Amino acid sequence: MSQKLVLAYSGGLDTSVAIHWLAERDYEVLALAIDLGEAKDLDAVMDRALKHGATKAFMVDARDLFLRHFVWPTLQAGALYEGHYPLATALGRPLIAKLMVDLAREEGATAVAHGCTGKGNDQVRFDVATGALAPDLEVVAPVREWGMTREEEIRSRRPTSSPGPRRPSRPPPSPPMSRSSSSGESLWVSTARSSSPWSWSRG
C-alpha cells in the first residue's frame, strides 16, 4: 500500500522529476505550493504538479505569516548573515517545513520531501525543522539521493497526459507557529533590497 507523502513543490525541474521518482518508490505524492510573495503563477505550478503525477496539489498563501512572524522580527533584530547582508531564503524554510507538517497531519501522510541537494544549507533547515516539529515523519530528499545529472533529469521528466484531480487551496494556519533549492524571490527579498525598511529597524 502506498504511503502518503507531502512534497514541497516549487514547479521547477528538480521537484517535478521528484514526483516521478517518489511514485516509483510507492509514495502517493501530495504536492504543496506555498506563496511567500514570489512573482509566479501558483495555479500553473499546481497544474504542473498534477501533470507530473501528484495525487493532489495544494496551495497555501503564507505571505502574511511570513511577514509578521519572520520578516519583521528579523528586521527588528537587525539580523545580518555573518554581519554583512540580510537573511533571505533561509527565513522561509522553517515556515515551509511547518506547513508541510500541518498538511501531513491533515492528510494522514507519513513522510515529507523537499528538493534540496546535498551541497547547501537548505537541506539542514528543512531536515532539522521537520525533525523538531514532527520527529515521527520520514524526511525524503530525492535530489540528494538520486545522483542524476541535470541532463538525466531533463530526459526523465515526462508529464502525464491524464487530467489531475481538483486543486484544493488552503487558508494559512492559525496560530502560525505551535512551538523547497535556489534562492526565491519572496516578499522578504524584495523588502531587504530597500534601504528604508532596514533603516527603520536601526532607528
**pLDDT on residue 167:** 52
Give me the number of domains the chain comprises.
1
- Cell numbers representing residue 54 in the block: 501528484
Angle at 198 between CA 192 and CA 203, to 5 degrees: 170
For residue 179, the one-letter residue type is: R
* Segments forming the whole domain that contains residue 62: 3-198
160 DSSP assignment: -
For residue 43, the one-letter residue type is: D
Q: Within a domain: residue 146?
A: yes
Q: Within a domain: residue 157?
A: yes
**pLDDT on residue 17:** 92
Backbone angles phi, psi at 165, to 5 degrees: -75, 170
**pLDDT on residue 12:** 87
Q: Within a domain: residue 79?
A: yes
Q: How far is it, in rounded angstroms, from Cα 33 to Cα 63?
A: 12
Q: Within a domain: residue 133?
A: yes
DSSP strands (E only) in the chain? 3-8, 27-35, 56-61, 80-81, 85-86, 111-113, 138-140, 169-170
Q: How far is it, in rounded angstroms, from Cα 6 to Cα 102?
A: 10
Q: Within a domain: residue 105?
A: yes
Q: Within a domain: residue 97?
A: yes
For residue 20, the one-letter residue type is: H
Backbone angles phi, psi at 118, to 5 degrees: -95, 15
Q: Within a domain: residue 203?
A: no
Question: Which of 160, 164, 156, 185 has the alpha carbon at shortest distance from 18?
Answer: 156
For residue 203, the one-letter residue type is: G
**pLDDT on residue 180:** 34
CATH number of residue 18's parent domain:
3.40.50.620
**pLDDT on residue 145:** 82
Using 50 as the pLDDT threshold, list the residues of the chain that sit under it.
Answer: 161-166, 171, 174-185, 188-189, 191-203
CA 65 to chain centre: 15
- Cell numbers representing residue 138 in the block: 520520514
| pLDDT per residue as tens digits for the range 47-98 | 999 999 999 999 999 999 999 999 889 888 888 888 887 777 788 999 999 9
Q: How far is it, in rounded angstroms, from Cα 89 to Cα 63?
A: 14
User: What predicted TM-score, i.e. pTM, was given to this entire model?
Assistant: 0.77
- From residue 75, alpha-carbon distances to 14, 62, 72, 95 in Å are 32, 18, 5, 17
Cβ 31 vs Cβ 54: under 8 Å: yes
Q: Within a domain: residue 61?
A: yes
**pLDDT on residue 170:** 53
